[in-house]
C-alpha cells in the first residue's frame, strides 16, 4: 500500500471517529462559543475553548477515549502524562465515569494546573510529579503502565483522542457562519490540528489550514522535513501546552496531508497575541491558547476581507506569567524597542537626551542607567511607538550626533542588570520617587533639578498605574547643591523618600 493510500485510510478513519465522537463528548460537557469580531479588516472568528468546563479543549479527547473503555479496562484504571490540560481532561472523565486515574506531571507543570487536576479528579486521581519535562513524565508513566497494566490515555497520538478534539471543528461547521477562508491551528503533538483540519477540509475543501508552532517547539515541522517524527534537542516551555519534543506517529502523516502551511511564532509574538485578545475580547488565554492568533497576526495584512478562524485552546495560566507577557507583548508587536545611547556625563545631558527623543507617538516605558565613567554615560531607554516612528527616532539621534543602537533582547537589558561604579559618585543622594504617569513628567522634574545635580542612577519601568515609580540617584558638586536639591524636592509636590544609609550601602 502506498503512503498516500495509508494517509487516506487514516484520514477516513479519523473522520468516521469524529462523527461517532459527537455522540459521546456532550455527555461530559457542552459546546463552546464561537465569537465573531472585526479586526484590521479581517472577519475573525474565535473558537473559545477557554470557556469550556476545564478552560481548555483537552476534555474532548480524554472523555471520548475513556468513554470507549470496556468494563474490564475501567476496572484496571488509566494512566497518562500531561503538562496540565490533558491531565484535567482525564481527571474530569475519571470522576464522571468512576475510574481510577494515575496522572504523571513534570516538575515544570504550572501550579494552577496541578491544583485544578487535584480538584477536578478528587477521589479518583493520583498525581505524581516526575521529571523536568513532559517527555520525562511520559517515559515514567509508560514504565509504570506496563507494571500496573493500566490503560494509557495519550494526550494526542491516539485516533479516538484526536476524534474527540475534532468535535470542536464540528461546532464551527454547524454554527452556520462558514465557509471559512483560513484556519490557524496551534500544534504541539498535532492531535487537535489533525482532528480540526480533517473535519474542516471535509466540509470546506477550499479552506487553507495554517499550523502554528512555537519557534523552539516545532516538532511537526521537523518531522515533515525529516519524513518521519524526530526528537528535538531543545524545547522551550513558555507555551507549556504545546511543549512537545516529538510529533506523534499518527498525527504526523495526518498533519503532513492536511496542513497547507506551517509557521513558527516567537514567545514575544505570542505575548502580543495575548494582549490583542485581551484588548479586543477581554479574553486572557494561556500562551499556547494564543498561538493561533499569533500566527494570524503575522499574516494580518494579507487576510483583509477574509473569514478567519482561530482557536483559543486554553486559559490555564499561572498568574505570575502575566508580568512576562505584559513586558514582552510590545516587543512581539514591534511597538516596543530598547536603545542604548552614548552621551556626555555632565549636568543636563539626560534632560537633553529625553528632549531629543521625545515626539508625537513616542512613550518612554523604561529607563535603565548607572554611572560607570566620569566622562561618558550609556543609558538604556525603552520606548513604545510604531515601527515608522522608531525609524524617525533613530534618524533624529543620528542628526544630533548621539550614538545609539537597538539592544532589545540583550541579556543585561532583558534581566535589568544596571551597571554602575559607586566610586565615581560625589555626595550621592538616592530616593524612591513617585511622579504622575503622564507624558513629560520625568522630563519636567529633570528640568527643575538640572542646575544643582546630575543623575547617577535610574531604574524605572512603566507598570500601567496612574503614577510612576522610580529608584533614582543623584550626585552633587557641593553640599550646598545637595541641600538645594532637597529643597526643590520638598517644594515639587511629588512623593519621594530618601533611602536610609543602610539601604544605600547595600545598593552601592
Mind listing the domains of the chain with CATH numbers? 3-56+159-324 (3.40.50.1100), 62-152 (3.40.50.1100), 335-507 (3.40.1020.10)
Q: Which phi and psi angles does 78 have, rounded to 5°?
A: -120, 165
Residue labelled with grid coordinates 517515559? 139
Q: What local confidence, expressed as pLDDT, does residue 28 receive?
A: 97
Distance CA 94, CA 97 (A): 5
Q: Which of 138, 69, 59 is nearest to 102 (CA)?
A: 138
Q: What local confidence, expressed as pLDDT, does residue 1 receive?
A: 42
pLDDT tens per residue, range 110-147: 888 999 999 999 999 999 999 988 889 999 999 999 99
Q: Which phi and psi angles does 54 have, rounded to 5°?
A: -115, 15
Q: What local confidence, expressed as pLDDT, does residue 7 receive?
A: 58
Quote the cell numbers at residue 295. Answer: 500566527
Q: Indicate the DSSP class of residue 346.
A: S
Torsion angle in degrees (nearest 10) through CA of 243, 246, 250, 254: 70
pTM: 0.89
Q: At what angle do helices 159-174 and 191-203 cross, to 10 degrees?
A: 40
Counting as low any pLDDT under 50, the low residues of the chain are 1
Q: What local confidence, expressed as pLDDT, does residue 69 receive?
A: 98
Distance CA 88, CA 475 (A): 57
233 and 226 Cβ atoms separated by less than 8 Å: no
Distance CA 168, CA 421 (A): 59
Q: What local confidence, expressed as pLDDT, does residue 503 receive?
A: 67
Beta bridge partner(s), residue 338: 382
Residue labelled with grid coordinates 464540528? 170
329 and 274 Cβ atoms separated by less than 8 Å: yes
Integer-rounded Cα Rg, in Å, for the chain is 28
Judged on CB neighbours under 10 Å (0-12, 13-18, 19+), 443 is middle
Distance CA 399, CA 393 (A): 10
Amino acid at each position: 500500500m502506498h503512503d498516500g493510500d495509508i494517509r487516506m485510510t487514516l484520514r477516513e478513519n479519523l473522520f468516521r471517529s469524529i462523527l461517532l465522537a459527537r455522540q459521546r463528548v456532550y455527555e461530559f460537557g457542552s459546546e463552546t462559543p464561537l465569537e465573531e469580531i472585526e479586526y484590521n479588516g479581517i472577519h475573525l472568528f474565535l473558537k473559545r475553548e477557554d470557556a469550556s468546563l476545564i478552560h481548555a479543549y483537552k476534555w474532548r479527547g480524554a472523555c471520548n477515549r475513556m468513554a470507549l473503555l470496556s468494563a474490564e479496562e475501567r476496572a484496571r484504571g488509566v494512566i497518562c502524562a500531561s503538562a496540565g490540560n490533558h491531565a484535567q481532561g482525564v481527571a474530569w472523565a475519571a470522576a464522571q465515569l468512576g475510574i481510577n486515574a494515575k496522572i504523571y506531571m513534570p516538575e515544570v507543570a504550572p501550579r494552577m494546573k496541578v491544583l485544578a487536576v487535584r480538584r477536578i479528579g478528587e477521589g479518583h486521581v493520583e498525581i505524581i510529579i516526575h521529571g523536568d519535562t513532559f517527555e520525562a513524565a511520559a517515559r515514567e508513566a509508560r514504565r509504570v503502565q506496563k507494571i500496573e497494566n493500566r490503560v494509557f490515555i495519550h494526550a494526542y497520538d491516539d485516533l479516538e483522542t484526536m476524534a474527540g478534539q475534532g468535535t470542536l471543528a464540528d461546532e464551527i461547521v454547524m454554527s452556520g457562519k462558514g465557509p471559512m477562508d483560513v484556519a490557524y491551528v496551534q500544534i504541539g503533538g498535532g492531535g487537535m490540528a489533525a482532528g480540526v483540519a480533517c473535519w474542516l477540509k471535509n466540509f470546506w475543501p477550499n479552506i487553507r489550514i495554517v499550523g502554528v508552532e512555537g519557534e523552539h517547539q516545532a516538532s511537526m515541522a521537523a518531522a515533515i522535513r525529516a519524513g518521519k517524527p524526530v526528537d528535538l534537542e531543545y524545547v522551550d516551555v513558555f507555551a507549556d501546552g504545546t511543549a512537545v519534543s516529538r510529533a506523534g506517529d499518527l498525527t504526523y502523516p495526518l498533519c503532513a496531508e492536511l496542513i497547507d502551511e506551517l509557521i513558527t511564532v516567537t514567545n514575544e509574538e505570542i505575548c502580543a497575541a495575548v494582549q490583542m485578545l485581551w484588548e479586543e475580547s477581554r479574553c486572557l488565554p494561556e500562551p499556547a491558547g494564543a498561538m493561533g492568533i499569533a500566527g494570524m497576526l503575522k499574516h494580518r495584512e494579507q487576510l483583509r476581507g477574509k473569514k478567519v478562524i482561530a482557536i483559543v485552546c486554553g486559559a490555564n495560566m499561572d498568574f505570575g506569567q502575566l508580568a512576562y507577557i505584559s513586558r514582552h507583548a510590545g516587543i512581539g508587536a514591534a511597538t516596543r524597542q530598547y536603545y542604548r545611547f552614548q552621551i556626555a556625563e555632565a549636568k543636563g545631558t539626560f534632560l537633553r537626551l529625553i528632549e531629543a527623543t521625545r515626539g508625537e507617538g513616542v512613550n518612554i516605558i523604561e529607563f535603565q542607567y548607572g554611572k560607570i565613567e566620569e566622562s561618558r554615560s550609556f543609558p538604556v531607554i525603552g520606548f513604545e511607538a510604531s515601527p515608522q516612528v522608531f525609524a524617525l527616532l533613530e534618524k533624529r539621534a543620528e542628526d544630533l550626533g548621539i550614538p545609539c543602537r537597538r539592544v532589545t533582547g540583550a541579556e543585561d537589558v532583558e534581566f535589568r542588570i544596571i551597571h554602575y561604579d559607586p566610586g565615581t559618585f560625589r555626595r550621592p543622594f538616592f530616593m524612591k520617587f513617585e511622579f504622575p504617569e503622564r507624558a513629560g513628567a520625568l522630563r519636567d522634574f529633570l528640568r527643575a533639578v538640572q542646575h544643582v545635580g546630575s543623575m547617577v542612577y535610574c531604574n524605572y519601568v512603566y507598570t500601567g498605574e496612574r503614577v510612576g515609580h522610580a529608584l533614582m540617584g543623584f550626585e552633587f558638586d557641593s553640599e550646598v547643591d545637595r541641600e538645594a536639591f532637597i529643597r526643590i524636592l520638598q517644594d515639587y509636590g511629588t512623593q519621594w523618600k530618601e533611602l536610609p544609609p543602610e539601604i544605600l550601602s547595600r545598593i552601592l
